[in-house]
């Protein structure tokens, strides 16, 4: 109980991140009778998509959703004063896991060489490379070890989200929604706008206290 009380946010993020895997699990058949083999079940795609297209869609959508969620943590703190670094780390891990899964599925279907045949694939691949060190340093031990360098390393997430948005934009997907959310987040981060929002929040808190 004490662990859950201290880490309830982390646990909640983990549950939300794992839940969609059950959807993918229903689309995959694993066979151990002759070693190990994994195949997609025909007819499980839905929405006019093949199983492979649906798996691509689900893994890619959740990767970009979690990445967007990570980048809204700072604006959320500016607006509401709520901040939990370890929840943000959990979101970062969820982002990396879904992104890696998306890339693995791509290699499984198309082969690694295909990664370098289109601009959007290359952008996605570079984003994956950036996420690797971020994934392995999203923990308290890495924070203590890297100290000030940890924040600089984690700031590479901004490049990863830009490349990811470029990746989905070229594919003509619903990238505009994520771009708008991320864009608003960066506007809120602008120093004089950030200062005004924090001042409004603090004044509101003082008014509530004295009411």
The token pair at 39 is 């195949």
Structural contact between residues 93 and 135, judged by C-beta atoms closer than 8 angstroms: yes
% residues pLDDT > 70 (the chain)? 82
pLDDT value of residue 105 = 84
Tokens linked to 1: 């109980």
Lowest mean pLDDT among 33-37, 78-82, 153-157, 167-171: 33-37
Distance CA(163)–CA(127), nearest Å, equals 6
Residue with tokens 């990746």: 167
Q: What is the pLDDT of residue 131?
A: 92
Torsion over CA of 121, 126, 127 and 130, rounded to 10 degrees?
160
* Strand pairing class (28-31; 37-40): antiparallel
Report the C-alpha gap between 62 and 75 in whole angstroms. Answer: 21
User: What is the pLDDT, as a whole number, of residue 123?
Assistant: 92
- Predicted TM-score of the model (pTM): 0.80
The mean pLDDT value for 103-121 works out to 87
Q: What angle do CA 189, 190, 191 make, to 5 degrees?
A: 105
pLDDT digits (tens, 9 = 90+) for 27-48: 777 666 776 566 766 655 556 6
Q: Which two tokens stand for residue 180?
A: 């708008």
């Amino acid at each position: 109980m004490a662990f859950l009380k201290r880490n309830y946010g982390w646990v909640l993020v983990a549950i939300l991140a794992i839940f969609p895997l059950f959807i993918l699990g229903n689309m995959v058949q694993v066979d151990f009778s002759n070693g190990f083999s994994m195949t997609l079940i025909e007819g499980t795609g839905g929405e006019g998509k093949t199983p492979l297209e649906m798996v691509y869609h689900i893994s890619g959508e959740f990767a970009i959703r979690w990445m967007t969620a990570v980048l809204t943590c700072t604006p959320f703190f500016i607006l509401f004063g709520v901040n939990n670094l370890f929840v943000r780390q959990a979101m970062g891990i969820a982002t990396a896991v879904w992104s890696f899964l998306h890339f693995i599925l791509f290699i499984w279907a198309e082969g690694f060489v295909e990664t370098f045949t289109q601009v959007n694939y290359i952008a996605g691949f570079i984003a994956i490379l950036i996420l690797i060190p971020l994934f392995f340093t999203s923990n308290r031990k890495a924070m203590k070890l890297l100290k000030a360098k940890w924040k600089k390393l984690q700031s590479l997430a901004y490049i990863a989200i830009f490349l990811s948005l470029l990746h989905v934009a070229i594919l003509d997907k619903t990238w505009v929604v994520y771009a708008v959310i991320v864009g608003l987040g960066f506007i809120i981060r602008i120093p004089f706008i950030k200062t005004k929002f924090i001042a409004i929040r603090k004044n509101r808190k003082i008014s509530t206290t004295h009411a």
